[in-house]
Structures are given as structure tokens and as C-alpha cells.
Amino acid sequence: MKAVVFTNGQYENLSFYKNYLEGQEAFQVICADGGANAAHALGVTPQLLVGDMDSIHAELLADYSEEGVTIDHHSTHKDETDTELAIEYCIKNGFDEVVIFGALGSRFDHSFGNLYLLNRLLKEGVRGEIVNENNRVFLVKDRAVLDVPVGTTVSILAFTDQASGINIEGFEYPVKNGVMAHFFPGYGISNVTVEKCPEISVEQGILMVDIVNE
């Protein structure tokens, strides 16, 4: 079961998100507060609206209430971000794949925090991705085979303090039994695929992968 979470972040090109959704099979839409504004602009009605409702347009909130959209209204004085509330809902309700829109933008603190939410999903066995016009970001703790064209730029970084036993195959700069760490991140940035179905694996630690749409 797949969920698409709209967060109250940056949406530069709505047609990108429209095309992305049209290419997906069955999924449920969950809006974290003001993420509903972007969903509404795309003509998408969520199955759930969650958050403190301080950024959704008031008229839209009223419309959703009249239409019977499930609304989980929280206090503004809470420990979780609205996006975190949406992610926790996905975990508790058995979703096995979660795609997050609007998670990267001008607020670095929120962007960075949203990357940690990918780890929250990973620890619960849920496949999570952050997707925007220029990036597709996910975590790898064992092995991933990428379905991308030859010539795609991919950056690979240690998400944990250190990651070891790294093998990167099918790239311009392959790695065999490598080590990556926070204090030496550079050599994993801007690699390029040279074969179909390139592969990334790691024995210890977690890697963050960013497939770049240039």
C-alpha cells in the first residue's frame, strides 16, 4: 500500500507532480497541513488532512470539512512537525511505501528534519522517498538496484557517521569495499551511471542516495 504525502514546502513546477502522480498506480494522498494547498492546485483531494492547520487556506479547510475529508486537527503546541504526524500515520496504518512531496525547500531546518523521517520509515521497514523536480532521495541499508537511464547523476553519502563495505557498480566511478563518513563526504557526490541497472550496496551503516534530475 502506497501513500503520497504532500508537505507544506516548495513546489516550483506543479506539472512535474501532476505527471508523477499520473504515472503511479493506486495510492492514498495524505496532506500535512499546508501541503493541501499544493494538492488542491493539482486537483487532488486527500484521504487524510493532518496537522495544526495554521498554513492551509481557511477556505480549503472549510471545503474539506464539508466534503467529509478525514481531518486530524492538532494543537500548534506540539512536539512533532505536521510532516512527522503524517509519517507516523503511514507507519501505524500499514503503508509499505511513502513518497513525500514538498519536503525540500527554503527552510533548511525542515528539509534536514525531513531527511531524518526517511530513517524513521526505514527503521519500520517502510520504503520512503523524498521527491521533487530535481531530486529523488532515499536511504539504503543493504542493497539497491536503480532503474535509471545511463548518464544519470547520482550522489551517494554516508547517512550514519560511517558506512563501510560499500560497493558501487555500473557507475563512472565504481567503489569496491569502500568506506564513507561524515568527515570525508566528497567522493560520493555527482557520480554518473554508465550501465543499465546500476547497483549500490552497503554492509554496515546507512547510505543516502540522491538521484539528480538535471
Confidence of residue 211 (pLDDT cuts 50, 70, 90): very high
Confidence of residue 177 (pLDDT cuts 50, 70, 90): very high
pLDDT for residue 182: 86
Confidence of residue 26 (pLDDT cuts 50, 70, 90): confident
The DSSP bridge partners found for residue 163 are 180
pLDDT for residue 35: 97
CA distance 31 to 37: 9
pLDDT per position as a tens digit, 81-107: 999 999 999 999 999 999 999 999 888
Q: What's the average model confidence in pLDDT over 182-208?
A: 92
| Average confidence score pLDDT of the chain | 95
pLDDT for residue 185: 64
Amino acid identity, position 142: D
Confidence of residue 25 (pLDDT cuts 50, 70, 90): confident
CB atoms within 10 A of CB 192: 14
Q: What's the average model confidence in pLDDT over 161-170?
A: 97
CA distance 134 to 111: 14
pLDDT per position as a tens digit, 110-146: 899 999 999 999 999 999 999 999 999 999 999 999 9
pLDDT above 70 as % of the chain: 99
Q: What's the average model confidence in pLDDT over 185-201?
A: 92
Q: What's the average model confidence in pLDDT over 7-33?
A: 95
pLDDT per position as a tens digit, 195-207: 999 999 999 999 9
Residue 195: C-alpha distances to residues 116, 120, 149, 171, 189 (Å):
30, 31, 8, 7, 18
- What ranges do the domains of the chain cover? 2-133, 143-212
CA distance 93 to 28: 12
Residue 148 confidence (pLDDT) above 70? yes
Asked if 89 and 51 count as a contact pair (C-beta separation under 8 A), the reply is no
pLDDT for residue 106: 82
> Which residues in 21-59 are b (16+ Cβ under 10 Å) and which e?
beeeeebebbbbbbbbbbbbebebebebbbbbbeebeee
Region 2-133: CATH code: 3.40.50.10240
